[in-house]
Amino acid sequence: MIEVVLARIIQGGLSGIGMGFLFYCYPFVRHLVSREYRFRFYQTEDKNLAFKKECIKYLKIGLTYGFIYGFIMGTIIGPFGQRNGI
């Protein structure tokens, strides 16, 4: 049972929306860890808007990467994995 749950969590993380969410969270984590990254936004005039733009940029990158990854895994590896029992 735990194997099924872990497999579903991994599949969700590797899906297009999962990748988009992980990339969307990247600026938040980097903001918490890096003082230099944090002060980069404090120096701008409209710091809230600049941080939102940065988050949206990473969300777009994540969604693009996730859906391309899902397309490649689904069309190339998917049919062969079904036949081979992977």
Question: pLDDT digit string (tens) for 39-68?
Answer: 877 777 787 788 888 888 888 888 888 777
Question: pTM for this structure?
Answer: 0.60
pLDDT of 36 above 70:
yes
Cα end-to-end distance, the chain, whole Å: 18
CA dihedral (25, 31, 36, 37) in degrees, to 10, reads: 40
42 three-state secondary structure: helix
Residue with tokens 């397309």: 71
